[in-house]
Structure 1
């Protein structure tokens, strides 16, 4: 494999091995670059069944391919995606996404270096983010089999735990060897025995008989939580002489977490939680007053509404605003019931509802559960005289006929525009409570005193329907409420095929979004209803790039050294130009546009730490210099003006290579 690591040969004419990550009884694991996806990093797990003869090997590979189909069912943002099974000159590799970040073992070792460990708050958050993932896996019939700090990565991008190294892959190898009649299917040629599960983390029934179930994973997760809490390995937490756990005497924990962990790691599988969802519910339900915000930090958000916490209202029983939770692409709600809802909570301080909202966002996004808090039945008690501001009261006889007609018209228009009513409700609630922070966490009544606020809510909903109709395609509107971070992965692949980077795509989407919602653009994930509009705008920009509406390749005919592109840009509109150029050529760019009306970006073919770009969202309108790389350069022009503007872009180069076909293939563009 060493010669491949030197880049002399691509596996499958596609993957360049960078280094070996680990060795295994039935195959090694490598870090590689995908040359068809702009040098994107990936993981290659070699499948080596160690059977004699080519016929047996071919049969083993065929059986493995058939049995590995279950891996492709996994579609969760906290599991690296299984891409394909790759055959290369008699070898078989499982190709999987690469996740950047330290393992929880590495994180713990760093803390141990200065006598530290994970706090209770951190471990509660860890469990809150991992249990929904297990609930999803178990719902599609997959048991991980090997949960431990070594097989959980804290992803750099968002700090969330990601589950790697499924023990089921090893089991597939063993199954194949068994079907081929290998006498010792668990034993490799060098005598090494493949163990399915890690000693100390795997429960007794798994290690002794190979029996696995959802309870197996829950046990391993509970032990992992204990190791993080104590900084000690499992054998230090178990008293072999008395055959019982000794950790309760070694650490101070809240009653809630102590009870949850005790049940997770019960010796008898029947004494553990029946499902990950019930374990999650126990962790949540045991705290009728919301957990501290440190226990439930939500994922980074793309937009942070500047809304101060509402003041205390101890004498008024109120209900929190309806919470928007975007679903994940896999939508496990079709097969998995969400965990029981939290005990009804009355707001007792200014910090309670934001803490609960953070907790529910963390649980909802991590698990992909799209469910809503019902403000009437769940929190309001006697709901007489209480009306949701979301328009669901269009038939309320206590409202005037004009108001009922207005609310019904909103529903009808949303349906005509293919905008999900639940999503529109959440979007309107977000802006309504931003504009009325003193009403945060309350519901409107159907009494005359609240009529102005109900009218304001309806007006906000109507304004957003206007905005969505004017700025989004029907397809983009139809998916509002269902966009999630996995969409960005798909878009990267689509635009990369056009020699366009995700940075250029985000420039286009950010420009459109900033024009519609000034000051809200920032890095992050889909967390609030308005974030969904950014993703919808990005979807339309991807479609426009693929159709060529906002993408032009600048080429130079023989004897020509300059090209001029011109046109008009509407507010928030942008254009991408790509140029296939060679290193050491001189490039000169000149953008003519009204002063302070545009931003200019120039991206290199392969971004590096020292050279991520030439220009990024720059106010300057000229650039000249020697090109550092060969490949496709991107020039992105976006409008920051409030009115349509004319522009003209001139690109001039020297030493133009006429025969592009004979030019060496440019380096692939980074995502």
Structure 2
């Protein structure tokens, strides 16, 4: 692996001295000097991940969090003298405070700073989350072996995903200082890029070393702190230590050129004229070329001064409509790397890749993106690949319900903070006929009027379209005449889906693509307050969902884009339950041993009834309704299975096994409105209406298992 000196100059692993500054280099350590040690009475060191001028970085297990992986960054700058080290540690603690304030799902989450006593002396450690993934350097290296590079579509998408992160940190007065392919990692959890390895800690080490070197030679004048990678950082940062927002934008533009060309910065820069000569390596659209040129301007005043200026121009960017598809990246197991490649977060199962505006390498499964990711639906059919295969599991893994608090949980945990991504409306392509351009423009207008997120909608249409056209083998459509009929069918599928989504409330529609476990946890608490369980809520949601999408019955759709539609329906059902339109309490009148309730249901609608009953009580239930009306009876807790579940049976009688609120859910699977009458009779009825009580506690479901949803 590469070796770094205290100035962060990169050298081959065979080097003994830095080829730029001559500093003696330390040989890499395979597992690290602390491997196996328990630091801070909490963190068990697994192996070394990398090292640099400020210290080493380790993969560790957090003993207080069930051995969850995390990253330890040791602060051990190469400075001489107790006072110098003390000064460096003070600055380091201040820098750690700045990192702690950064709360963004695509930035390493800072956990804590602690001091550990070691044989030689005590040292400071910074703790961050660990995430499974690969750096863009590793992804590029893999593609180069295949004779491929990143294409314009992919790097534009990367810009749209990274620039909001920079805008966030710059708004807090933080400059990254070290953007490069090594410090961007594609997170396996959601295929979003994560910005890692902030330069502030390295800045401290370099600054203190420079200051005390000046004192040691007696001139009292410290040399400028030259932090940043040669070729990536602009001259004013390398020569004078000056870093500004436009310095990060400069380094980001260099990173984009490296990904596009596979060449290193010195190969793309005319050092004599100090001008970039990347055009001889790759051909880009004029507008993206102009954006990169301005980001790379030699004079800082000629560059974009803020991220928002770049985003403004990107919003007007004419997206190429048929960029050639890049090969799907190869993701081998994580390998030992340098400190610059450390990422953050828990390593979950990989979900679907973040969609590209133009071409997408098919991912394994879908996971909702961070809230706030929003793209406008353009005027052209974007040429996207649908998922090549979906991960198994989800709702259909378990043959039994796991209790009234059971949840339907996708494999990947949600992001915690919003990521703001600008709307990008690609213009019409000249290759398409005017009729098709008008059709797509009308489709885009309709999608926007309904408030459906663009990025989510493209995934949804692709899923349905390619399921209907399995003979295409997920082949990417072209903009040529040979695929005109298929593009028309794609548009027809999109319009049909919008017809179906119109039945969902505008509020729930606007959240599609963003629903996650936090929403379901919130729903669970809300229905429990009403003495209702989530499985009753889910039965109501299933009825409408399967009425709209009957082909999804028996399918594993929880990790698919269409699963987000189910979430939106469930959100609407929750509001109906809270409003009392879909939930009614059955209370027996004075001296009565039976109670009858009735109602009317539209196709896909349902209603839940609850009644407080007692153990060993005999009850009889009868339903008079259309034959396509289904009945479910749920006991108070998961210790008992459903008495009926989505059953066409119209009667049930028996002795109850426990006290509590029983749930009776009636749903319609008919294609026309139906009416129903539900009669509940019981012995030993309490004559006075019961006071509300909370349902008995239920065991929590296993996070790795899923209940089997009813199939109306």
CA distance in 1, matches of 2:125, 2:70: 12
Q: Structure 2: 5+ residue runs without aligned partners? A: 1-28, 218-223, 326-355, 370-376, 382-413, 465-489, 522-533, 547-551, 576-615, 618-630, 648-700
SS in 1 for 2:131: coil
Contact 2:250 2:296 in 1 (8 A): yes
Contact 1:571 1:642 in 2 (8 A): no
CA distance in 2, matches of 1:36, 1:480: 35
CA distance in 2, matches of 1:169, 1:486: 35
Answering whether residue 249 of structure 2 is matched by residue 218 of structure 1, we say yes
SS in 2 for 1:145: coil
Deviation for aligned residue 1:595: 10
Instruction: Determine which of 104, 109, 127 is the counterpart of 1:76.
Output: 104
SS in 1 for 2:55: coil
Q: Kindly tell me: are residues 507 and 594 of structure 1, through their superposed partners in 2, closer, same or farther at Cα, counting changes over 3 Å?
A: closer
Deviation for aligned residue 1:161: 1.7
Render the CA deviation track for 1:557-599: whole Å, top value 9, x for unaligned: xxxxxxxxx99x978999889xxxxxxxxxxxx99988999xx
Rg comparison, structure with higher value: 2
CA distance in 2, matches of 1:233, 1:278: 27
CA distance in 1, matches of 2:104, 2:133: 18
CA distance in 2, matches of 1:72, 1:355: 46
TM-score, normalising length: structure 2: 0.49
Answering whether residue 666 of structure 2 is matched by residue 638 of structure 1, we say no
Q: Kindly tell me: are residues 509 and 115 of structure 1, through their superposed partners in 2, closer, same or farther at Cα, counting changes over 3 Å?
A: farther
Partner of 1:137: 169
Answering whether residue 55 of structure 2 is matched by residue 27 of structure 1, we say yes
Q: Kindly tell me: are residues 182 and 153 of structure 1, through their superposed partners in 2, closer, same or farther at Cα, counting changes over 3 Å?
A: same
SS in 2 for 1:638: coil
Q: Kindly tell me: are residues 80 and 486 of structure 1, through their superposed partners in 2, closer, same or farther at Cα, counting changes over 3 Å?
A: farther
Answering whether residue 113 of structure 2 is matched by residue 85 of structure 1, we say yes
Instruction: Determine which of 50, 66, 88 is the counterpart of 2:94.
Output: 66
Partner of 2:268: 237
Contact 1:512 1:572 in 2 (8 A): no
Moved more, 523-532 or 152-161: 523-532
Q: Structure 1: 5+ residue runs without aligned partners? A: 188-192, 314-326, 359-372, 380-387, 391-421, 445-452, 469-476, 492-505, 541-565, 578-589, 598-631, 644-671
Q: Kindly tell me: are residues 132 and 115 of structure 1, through their superposed partners in 2, closer, same or farther at Cα, counting changes over 3 Å?
A: same
CA distance in 2, matches of 1:291, 1:29: 42
Deviation for aligned residue 1:224: 0.9
Render the CA deviation track for 1:14-66: whole Å, top value 9, x for unaligned: 11111111121221111111122222211111112456677875665454323
Answering whether residue 237 of structure 2 is matched by residue 206 of structure 1, we say yes
Q: Kindly tell me: are residues 328 and 153 of structure 1, through their superposed partners in 2, closer, same or farther at Cα, counting changes over 3 Å?
A: closer
Contact 2:103 2:417 in 1 (8 A): yes
Deviation for aligned residue 1:225: 1.0
Contact 1:310 1:440 in 2 (8 A): no
Answering whether residue 198 of structure 2 is matched by residue 166 of structure 1, we say yes
Contact 1:136 1:332 in 2 (8 A): no
Partner of 1:182: 212
Contact 2:35 2:48 in 1 (8 A): no
Deviation for aligned residue 1:169: 2.2
Contact 2:44 2:61 in 1 (8 A): yes
Instruction: Determine which of 128, 140, 156 is the counterpart of 1:108.
Output: 140
CA distance in 1, matches of 2:43, 2:704: 29
Render the CA deviation track for 1:255-285: whole Å, top value 9, x for unaligned: 2222222112111122222322322332331
Render the CA deviation track for 1:147-190: whole Å, top value 9, x for unaligned: 11111112222322211111122124456678xx7345999xxx
Aligned residue pairs: how many? 447
Contact 1:80 1:97 in 2 (8 A): yes
SS in 2 for 1:232: coil
Contact 1:171 1:196 in 2 (8 A): yes
SS in 1 for 2:292: helix
Contact 2:269 2:277 in 1 (8 A): yes
Deviation for aligned residue 1:122: 2.3
Instruction: Determine which of 154, 161, 171 is the counterpart of 2:186.
Output: 154
SS in 2 for 1:144: coil
CA distance in 1, matches of 2:104, 2:231: 27
Partner of 1:264: 295
Contact 2:234 2:247 in 1 (8 A): yes
Deviation for aligned residue 1:240: 1.9
SS in 2 for 1:200: coil
Deviation for aligned residue 1:95: 0.8
Q: Kindly tell me: are residues 65 and 575 of structure 1, through their superposed partners in 2, closer, same or farther at Cα, counting changes over 3 Å?
A: farther
Partner of 2:227: 196
Deviation for aligned residue 1:119: 2.2
Q: Kindly tell me: are residues 229 and 641 of structure 1, through their superposed partners in 2, closer, same or farther at Cα, counting changes over 3 Å?
A: closer
Deviation for aligned residue 1:250: 2.8
Q: Kindly tell me: are residues 340 and 68 of structure 1, through their superposed partners in 2, closer, same or farther at Cα, counting changes over 3 Å?
A: same
TM-score, normalising length: structure 1: 0.52
CA RMSD, aligned part only? 6.0
Partner of 2:131: 99
Deviation for aligned residue 1:332: 7.7
Render the CA deviation track for 1:124-163: whole Å, top value 9, x for unaligned: 2222222222222222222111011111112222322211
Partner of 1:582: none
Q: Kindly tell me: are residues 570 and 83 of structure 1, through their superposed partners in 2, closer, same or farther at Cα, counting changes over 3 Å?
A: farther
Moved more, 144-153 or 74-83: 74-83
SS in 2 for 1:274: coil
Please state which structure has a larger fraction of its residues in helix.
1
Contact 2:379 2:427 in 1 (8 A): no
